[in-house]
Amino acid sequence: MTRSARTRRSRHLTAELQDKLFGIRLVRFGTLETRLSRAVHVTSEEEQKNVGIVLENGDTEIDTQIIDALIEPLLHLLKNAVVHGIEREDTRRLIGKPEKGLIRIRIDSDSDGLTLTVADDGRGFQ
C-alpha cells in the first residue's frame, strides 16, 4: 500500500470513528417524555388543574449536551404553562374548552439545527 493510500485510509477510518463517537452521544428526544410528564403532573396537582402533555417527533435524535442544556429551562416553561397559562377545569368548561388543558412540545430538526416549540391551549398570563 502506498503512502498516499495509507493516508486516505487513515482519514477514512478517522472520519468513521468520529461519526460513531458522535452517534454514541445522540439520544431520542422522547426519552425525556416521562420526566416532562411527571413535572406537568406534579405541578397540575399542586395547582388543582387537569393538564396533559403531548410530545411530538420524539424519535428526533439530539446530542446529550443539548438535552442537558435544555432540560431545566424546558421544565420551567412547562411549570409556567400550568401555573399561568392553563385554566382550571370549571373555567375551561365555562368558556367552552375541554376540561383537560394540553401542553404540546414539538422538536424539529433540519439543516439549520433544531427547533423546539412549547405551546399550550390556555388563556396565557392575565
1, part of any domain: no
pLDDT interval class at 15 (50, 70, 90): confident
109, part of any domain: yes
Q: Pick the residue with more confidence: 81 or 8?
A: 81
List Cα–Cα distances, 25 to 12, 41, 49, 110, in angstroms.
21, 29, 37, 18
Give residue 25's pLDDT.
81
CATH number, domain of 83, equals: 3.30.565.10
Domain that holds residue 94: 27-120
pLDDT interval class at 20 (50, 70, 90): low
12, part of any domain: no
98, part of any domain: yes
**How many domains would you assign to the chain?**
1
2, part of any domain: no
5, part of any domain: no
The Cβ of residue 36 has, within 10 Å, a number of other Cβ atoms equal to: 20
pLDDT in tens, 79-124: 999 999 999 999 999 999 999 999 999 999 999 989 999 999 998 7
42, part of any domain: yes
64, part of any domain: yes
